[in-house]
Amino acid sequence: MSRAACFVFLAILLVASAAAQPSLQPTVWATKPDAAAFEKIVNDKLAAGQNSIDKLVAVKGPRTIENTLVPYDEALRQVNAGNYLANLMFQVHPDAAFRDRATTMTQKATAVLTALSLNREVYQALAALDLSKADAATRYYVQRQLLEFRLAGVDKDDATRARLKQLNDDLTGEVTLYERNIADDQRSVEIASAAELDGLPQDYIDRHKPGADGKITITTDYPDIFPVLKFGKNEALRKRLYEQFDNRAYPKNHDLLQKMMQTRYEIATLLGYSSWADYYAADKMAVNGQNIANFIRDLNAAASPVAQREYAMLLAEKKKSDPSATEIWEYENSYIREQLRRSQYYFDSQSVRPYLPYASVKKGIIDTAAQLFHVTFQEEPNVPAWDPSVETWDVMDNGKMVGRFYLDMHPRPGKFSHAEMVQVLDGVRGKQMPEAALICNFPKPTATDAGLMEYGDVQTFFHEFGHLMHHILGGQQQWAGISGITMEADFGEAPSQMLEEFIRSPQVLASFAHHYKTGEPIPAELVARMNRAAAFGRATYTAAQISYTALSYDVYKGKPQDIDLDAVCLADTKRYTLFTPLPGTHMYASFGHLSGYSSAYYTYMWDLVIAQDFFQQFDHSNLLNGEGPMRYRRVVLEPGGSMSANDLVKNFLGRPQNMTAFQRWMGEEFEFQPAVSKQAGN
Ligand SMILES: [Zn+2]
């Protein structure tokens, strides 16, 4: 093995050598960054994948699992590993030149995967497989792969495939341009003096000094506009800014979106679907557009009574300063909500931070996950990673190693700046251990700074940990192609969103949230107050999400020439939210998800509904114990992508998901004890 033969084999080495510490190989990221060695690993994996495909194609005679599915899956395993590694290095490597080379390698790996997805010979070979004696997971795997091939148009004639290729190239260009138009169209308003910033925090005012002409500029960038919409007392300023914000990329993206809708419509119809929404749902839990429409209808029915109660409270709050008010404008929502949170739910998020120093939170989350999922975690201090701050952890099940993960948790120049879980290796039973990395940006503790976290950060940490456990516990399959989180794209956020609920439990929080100076556990009363403040506004938030979901669906549900974007956007806002839209705005032009998610923006709420339904199955007085957690692990996580997510859900709930638990979650704020509300008022 060359010195570059690295981490991908390390897990196997570790297992092979059992208890004895193996002599550690220098890894590609542990020593001085060696981009050439890294490129060689990725290239070798892509070549090994191609080699497997060549072998598969060359087979003469009847197609068997052994001569066809085995090399196909081996190709996926190899190419995925190359792709994951390139993507990971692109996101986290400390060296900029290394990251640039990783970008190139990512493109190379993507091109190999795309070519494979369009390979007709491979499709025909898989379609010719005799699966009569195969197990259910293998049959499901092949069926799903064939569907993906057909959705790419592999079984169409040459002229149709050439046209599809052209349309897909057009679409890629249109999507990129649509997103760039949004990013490029920074708008701003000018104000005469800092007096117009009344209500904003001092550090915000300090950051916005007057220019040479004495005027202050406020842009539509998030860190500029959101504080004004939330805290700014000057209503005219909020309105002016909102008007600019909801006109970004207009009119450019009006015409471009029409074009994109047309391109997608043509792709869908060439492939035999009546709309893009139908086509795009075909490999997802939703299955077709009608189910998205039904979901929107049911979600709206569940949200609307609670949203009306919340709206009445918001309107009462507005009337305190404007007794004649009869409606709330969209641009006022954030400000009035903040006023209400202070007057009725007195809760200052700063009061929680001292209980959340990073080190305790990390330990708490690891301990909680270990108890919940019946595994143990063991840090491997001698297995270095790509940066000295990154920790390597092994996952043990009954004393046996079942996976590995890396924690890259603090900001670093050039690193991915949000929070995510990325796959490193797909688990294949007896062949390859699943590996993943959490990439986050939480405060870093130092000798003088405990690294106090926001409560939202703690939720994010556990959310990403949910993806991680799904990848690892679901990564014990016979095939790489059905390992871990390789399932319908509209199920992926359900397990992670469910874990966020666990962290809201006062018992769970008290087990690790201890004051960084006194060691005192977080008071139950504070947790209750925090949860109550967080619960207010869920239904009006849901209503807003429904309007976006409906827009995403309505834009792609039919023939593009029949769709008037302004009319559809206005109608969906009016129909699903209770707030009054501002005339002359065109939010669809800057709603970036219409290009990326296209008709599948429903995913987020769809999974939240499932997450709440799942969570109701646990014993809330004894969350981490009882039989719930292990049953959840066995029934939902362990199957990975070996069966349809609709079946996973049914197997766990005993029925398909419904709105009952979600409706209860939305109305939770109205169920709190009066005692809490009294304390909150003090
Ligand atoms: Zn997520």
Ligand 1 centroid to Cα of residue 158, in Å, is: 39
Is the pLDDT assigned to residue 5 strictly greater than 80? no
- List C-alpha distances in Å: 168 to 262, 266, 386: 12, 10, 36
pLDDT digits (tens, 9 = 90+) for 250-279: 999 999 999 999 999 999 999 999 999 999
Pairing of strands 391-397, 400-408: antiparallel
In CATH, what number does 353-521+607-681 get?
1.10.1370.40
In CATH, what number does 7-153 get?
1.20.1050.40
Is the pLDDT assigned to residue 677 strictly greater than 60? no
User: What does the domain layout of the chain look like in residue ranges?
Assistant: 7-153, 186-239, 252-351+538-601, 353-521+607-681
| Host H or E run for residue 573 | helix 565-576
pTM of the model: 0.91
Ligand 1 centroid to Cα of residue 602, in Å, is: 14
Q: What pLDDT does 26 receive? A: 36
Is the pLDDT assigned to residue 1 strictly greater than 50? no
Is the pLDDT assigned to residue 329 strictly greater than 70? yes
Q: What pLDDT does 662 receive? A: 96
Q: What pLDDT does 168 receive? A: 93
Beta bridge partners of 439: 408, 420
Ligand 1 centroid to Cα of residue 454, in Å, is: 18
- Rounded Cα distance between 94 and 30, Å, is 11
Cα–Cα nearest to 522, from 348, 356, 358? 356
The domains spanning 7-153 and 353-521+607-681 adopt the same CATH topology: no
Q: What pLDDT does 682 receive? A: 31
- List C-alpha distances in Å: 601 to 19, 276, 292, 543, 574: 48, 13, 10, 14, 19
Is the pLDDT assigned to residue 669 strictly greater than 80? no
Is the pLDDT assigned to residue 3 strictly greater than 70? no
Strands (DSSP E) found in 432-528 = 435-439
- Rounded Cα distance between 362 and 461, Å, is 8
Among all chains, which residue has been given the structure tokens 């969103």? 497
Beta bridge partners of 218: 189
- List C-alpha distances in Å: 643 to 6, 301, 434, 494: 33, 31, 19, 16
Ligand 1 centroid to Cα of residue 462, in Å, is: 10
Ligand 1 centroid to Cα of residue 493, in Å, is: 5
Pairing of strands 400-408, 376-379: unpaired
Beta bridge partners of 216: 191
Joined tokens for residue 162: 């050439």
Q: What pLDDT does 679 receive? A: 37
Is the pLDDT assigned to residue 306 strictly greater than 80? yes
Is the pLDDT assigned to residue 528 strictly greater than 70? yes
- Rounded Cα distance between 654 and 525, Å, is 36
Angle of CA points 164, 170, 156, to nearest 5°? 0
pLDDT digits (tens, 9 = 90+) for 116-135: 999 999 999 999 999 999 99
Ligand 1 centroid to Cα of residue 419, in Å, is: 9
Average pLDDT of span 21-26: 31
**Structural contact between residues 200 and 216, judged by C-beta atoms closer than 8 angstroms:** no
pLDDT digits (tens, 9 = 90+) for 194-241: 999 999 988 899 999 999 999 999 999 988 999 999 999 999 999 999
| Host H or E run for residue 245 | helix 235-245
CB atoms within 10 A of CB 282: 18
Ligand 1 centroid to Cα of residue 464, in Å, is: 6
Mean residue pLDDT across the chain: 91
pLDDT digits (tens, 9 = 90+) for 350-402: 789 999 999 999 999 999 999 999 999 999 988 888 899 999 999 999 999 99
Q: What pLDDT does 17 receive? A: 36
Lowest mean pLDDT segment, chosen from 99-103, 424-428, 531-535: 531-535
Measured in degrees and rounded to the nearest 5, phi and psi for residue 559 equal -75, 125
Is the pLDDT assigned to residue 534 strictly greater than 60? yes
pLDDT digits (tens, 9 = 90+) for 624-651: 988 999 999 999 999 999 999 999 999 9
> Measured between alpha carbons, how far apart are the two ends of the chain, in Å?
68
- Rounded Cα distance between 31 and 10, Å, is 15
Cα–Cα nearest to 613, from 644, 643, 648, 576? 648
Ligand 1 centroid to Cα of residue 495, in Å, is: 9
Ligand 1 centroid to Cα of residue 467, in Å, is: 7
Q: What pLDDT does 33 receive? A: 55
- List C-alpha distances in Å: 87 to 93, 110, 338, 386, 509: 10, 10, 39, 13, 34
Q: What pLDDT does 4 receive? A: 35
Ligand 1 centroid to Cα of residue 616, in Å, is: 20
The SS3 call for residue 213 is coil
Beta carbons within 8 Å of 140's beta carbon, 6+ residues apart: 482, 642, 643, 644
pLDDT band at 32 (very low <50, low <70, confident <90, very high): low
**Structural contact between residues 637 and 494, judged by C-beta atoms closer than 8 angstroms:** no
- Rounded Cα distance between 242 and 331, Å, is 6
Asked if the peptide bond before residue 251 counts as cis, ω within 30 degrees of 0, the response is: yes
- Rounded Cα distance between 549 and 457, Å, is 26
Q: Which CATH architecture has domain 252-351+538-601?
A: Orthogonal Bundle (1.10)
**DSSP output for 184-241:** H---EEEES-GGGGTTS-HHHHHHS---TTS-EEEESSHHHHHHHHHH---HHHHHHH
Beta bridge partners of 436: 405, 423
Beta carbons within 8 Å of 471's beta carbon, 6+ residues apart: 403, 421, 423, 427, 434, 436, 484, 485
- Rounded Cα distance between 442 and 458, Å, is 9
Joined tokens for residue 518: 């006194």
CB atoms within 10 A of CB 219: 16
CB atoms within 10 A of CB 212: 5
Cα–Cα nearest to 183, from 175, 172, 193, 195? 175
CB atoms within 10 A of CB 638: 16
Ligand 1 centroid to Cα of residue 151, in Å, is: 26
Ligand 1 centroid to Cα of residue 653, in Å, is: 22
- Rounded Cα distance between 578 and 304, Å, is 9
pLDDT digits (tens, 9 = 90+) for 387-445: 999 999 999 999 999 999 999 999 999 899 889 999 999 999 999 999 999 999 999 99
Alpha helices in 289-394 (DSSP H): 289-321, 333-344, 358-373
Ligand 1 centroid to Cα of residue 601, in Å, is: 14
- Rounded Cα distance between 346 and 174, Å, is 47
Ligand 1 centroid to Cα of residue 456, in Å, is: 14
Ligand 1 centroid to Cα of residue 492, in Å, is: 7
